[in-house]
A and B are shown apart, each in its own frame.
Chain A
Amino acid sequence: MGTFAFFYFAGIIVATAGMVVAFKNPIYSALALLVMFFHVAGLFVTLHAEFLAIIQILVYAGAILVLYLFVVMLLNLKREEHFHRQLLVGVFLGCVLFAEAVLLVLKGETTLGNSLPAADTSVELTRGNTESIGELLFSTYLFPFELASLILLVAMVGAVILTKKGILEVKN
């Protein structure tokens, strides 16, 4: 059952990721990415990361992708008829990178499989995923958590400043 779920989610994720890159219309690309986000969330559920699955749907599908769709529809875009002329180089580099990753995994297969200690799921199972993450976030990772709020503040101010009229325009 777990294997079937993994292959279902993995197949849809790979197919929709390919569609994001292959579609010529940006709206179709964004919608393919939406399907991919939902299936990544499903994969997170099978890995017992329920909190992240919900956050994935809320933040990625609910906020980030809607922002993309707004911008795509705001700008009057023409269909992109041709890929970049470095198409072959790009595909070749991607294949090389993937082959490297697979070779590393195959080489480390023995160590990867054996050296992992038996999963200690007792904490999560008795207390729930969200509660454990919350406690970790507000104890061990308190400083990075505060830093994350600062990053969001800077991004917000930056977005407002950048979209203000007259910043990048030629003065005339």
Chain B
Amino acid sequence: MDVPVSYYVVLSGIVFSIGLVGVLIRRNIIIILLSVELMLNATNINFVAFSSYLGNLSGQVFVFFALTVAAAEVAVGLAIIIALYRHSSSINIDDFRLLKW
């Protein structure tokens, strides 16, 4: 345990910021979902680091739940992407600017 916990916080801050920038600057919806995965992983690193430093396993259980939500999000998100691609044969985010109503 010779690495201070703040190092882990800074690492997860870097990864979270990269994920945020990815969501903002990419046009491909699949890459945007991958960037969301990056952000989820950043929070997971934080949870595990604090759980290990506090000697409390609840943080690791929370990572378990975050993983469940990530899996559900990927399933539904990719289904939506496939439906969108069938609808307009594009997954460029700029092509979907109009709401139906």
Residue of B nearest to A81 (CB): B27
Q: How many residues in B have their beta carbons less than 8 Å from beta carbons of A?
A: 74
| Option from B26, B71, B83 in Cβ contact (under 8 Å) with A59 | B71
Interface residues of A in 147-163 (CB under 8 A from B): 148, 151-152, 154-156, 158-160, 162-163
Distance to closest chain A CB from B45 (angstroms): 6
| Option from A3, A33, A83, A109 in Cβ contact (under 8 Å) with B37 | A33
B54 CB contacts on chain A under 8 angstroms? 116-117, 119
Residue of A nearest to B40 (CB): A60
Could you mark each residue 1-27 of chain A with 1 if its beta carbon is under 8 Å from any beta carbon of chain B, else 0?
011001000100110011011000010
- Distance of A133 Cα from B82 Cα, bound (Å): 36
Interface majority SS on B: helix, strand, loop or mixed?
Answer: helix
- Distance of A36 Cα from B33 Cα, bound (Å): 15
- Distance of A77 Cα from B20 Cα, bound (Å): 23
Residue of B nearest to A100 (CB): B13
B63 CB contacts on chain A under 8 angstroms? 49, 52
- Tell me whether A101 and B10 are in contact in the complex, defined as CB-CB below 8 angstroms, given that A154-B72, A158-B75 are known contacts: yes
Q: Are A169 and B86 in contact (CB under 8 A)?
A: yes
- Distance of A68 Cα from B85 Cα, bound (Å): 15
Report which A residues bind B (CB closer than 8 A): 2-3, 6, 10, 13-14, 17-18, 20-21, 26, 29-30, 33, 36-37, 40, 43-44, 47-49, 51-52, 55-56, 59-60, 63-64, 67-68, 71-72, 74-75, 77, 80, 82-84, 86-87, 89-91, 93-95, 97-98, 101-102, 105, 109, 112-113, 116-121, 123-124, 129, 132-133, 136-137, 140-141, 144, 148, 151-152, 154-156, 158-160, 162-163, 165, 167-170
Q: Which 10 A-B pairs have the closest CB atoms?
A: A90-B24, A155-B72, A120-B55, A101-B13, A94-B21, A21-B22, A162-B79, A98-B17, A159-B79, A47-B52
